[in-house]
Amino acid sequence: MDGSTQILTLNVNGEEKKFAGPLTVVGLVDALGLDLRKVAVELNREIVPRSTYAAVALQDGDVLEIVHFIGGG
Amino acid sequence: MDGITQLDDSWRVAGRSFGSRLIVGTGKYGDLPTTAAAIEASGAEMVTVAVRRVNLSDPKAPMLQDFVSPSRYTYLPNTAGCFTADDAVRTLRLAREAGGWNLVKLEVLGPAPTLYPDMPATFEAAAALIKDGFEVMVYCSDDPIAAKRLEEMGCVAIMPLGAPIGSGLGVQNPLMIRMIIESAGVPVLVDAGVGTAYDATFAMELGCDAVLVNSAIALADNPVLMARAMKAGVEAGRLAFRAGRIPRRGEASPSSPVSGLIR
């Protein structure tokens, strides 16, 4: 990796989306317009600890789930 | 002022203390402001919540947290919609990361029309969650043996249904709920089936530690008023349980003295 711009295709919540890389979890959440404090992220079926959002670099083909709390019983 | 009703009557689950014995769900409301107003009126300190994908097409849509603050209420994330242990563990790991707590409500339901607890799947998921460090409050059938086994596995609260979810039929099997309470060493809550305030009162009179209500409040014509009614109902039932009711008898007994009548 030389850090130059690349196109990443990510599966986010079941949708294929393209992003300019390199991209971290923080960058992705930001690019999606979401509030980092109100979501949780799973990357390839593994939890991404909140403390590592800025450090985890996403790879082409990664599968992510981004969730939040909604009303429920 | 009387001293007795004012005494601390809080209950504890997993090391946390709660003054209110009413837990409310946050689902099925018409809108978030009504959700917030009803929860406020209910006096609840713990609320159940679900975990779902964010809507990527509307990232700025109002979120539950904006109306029901997790710093004010203890969120109890549930596993609604999970049908396997793997789904339940994944969902609650995400909830733990989103909120930073490990107290959760496990529910694994069977298919409609009963949505009855799927107990084999519930046992499997409970084992996986406990192994993963969660403190599990578990929705279950009104089966005293299953309830005891869940407690022995390490569940921190047992939550049998009073009647099918959303049915509003009240406690259909008081004998079994009573048996579960009598043998339990952890809190027992009636979860599901409450239709109106007296159903909550009845559950509390049986000796439940708390009651969980969602549909009966959220779908009432006036959810805020019904939330207030549930608060009063739970308090009345708890006080009556503590007071100790009179035995039921098959004959009348005069309320006024029978001696000293004028002749």
DSSP string across B171-230: -S-HHHHHHHHHH-SS-BEEES---SHHHHHHHHHTT-SEEEESHHHHTSSSHHHHHHHH
pLDDT of residue A2: 54
Is the pLDDT confidence value at A69 over 70? yes
Model confidence pLDDT, tens digit, residues A8-60? 999 999 999 999 989 999 999 999 999 888 899 999 999 999 889 999 999 99
pLDDT of residue B59: 86
Model confidence pLDDT, tens digit, residues B205-219? 999 999 999 999 999
pLDDT of residue B8: 78
- pLDDT tier, A5 (very low <50, low <70, confident <90, very high otherwise): confident
Contact (CB<8Å) A38/B98: yes
pLDDT of residue B141: 96
Contact (CB<8Å) B26/A50: no
In terms of C-beta density within 10 A (0-12 exposed, 13-18 middle, 19 or more buried), how is residue B260 classed? exposed
Nearest residue to B195 via CA among B173, B169, B219: B169
Contact (CB<8Å) B59/A39: no
Residue B194's alpha-carbon distances to A48, B38, B116, B222, B230, in angstroms, are 38, 16, 15, 16, 10
| AA letter at A58 | L
Averaged pLDDT score across all residues of chain B: 93
> B254 in helix, strand or coil?
coil
What is the rounded CA–CA span in Å between residue B220 and residue B50? 21
With a CB-CB cutoff of 8 Å, which residues 16-45 of chain A face chain B?
A: 17, 32-35, 38-42, 45
- pLDDT tier, B84 (very low <50, low <70, confident <90, very high otherwise): confident
Residue of B nearest to A37 (CA): B98
Q: What angle do CA B45, B49, B52 make, to 5 degrees?
A: 160
Q: Which of B49, B59, B215 sits opposite A69 (nearest CB)?
A: B49
Share of chain B above pLDDT 70, in %: 97
- The encoded tokens of residue A24 equal 């971290």
pLDDT of residue B100: 67
Is the pLDDT confidence value at B2 over 70? no
pLDDT of residue A4: 64
Model confidence pLDDT, tens digit, residues B99-114? 868 999 999 999 899 9
Is the pLDDT confidence value at B6 over 80? no
Which one from B105, B131, B148, B231 is the annotated catalytic residue?
Answer: B105
| AA letter at A57 | A
What is the rounded CA–CA span in Å between residue A36 and residue A32? 10
Is the CB of residue B238 less than 8 Å from the CB of residue B249?
no
DSSP count for chain B of H helices, then E strands: 9, 10
- The encoded tokens of residue B200 equal 């909550």
Phi, psi of B147 (to 5 degrees): -60, -45
Closest Cα in chain A, distance from residue B258 (Å): 53
What is the rounded CA–CA span in Å between residue B42 and residue B49? 16
Residue of B nearest to A65 (CA): B53
In terms of C-beta density within 10 A (0-12 exposed, 13-18 middle, 19 or more buried), how is residue A29 classed? buried
Whether B131 is a known active-site residue: answer no
Residue of B nearest to A49 (CA): B97
Kindly give the pairing relationship between strand B103-106 and strand B74-77. unpaired
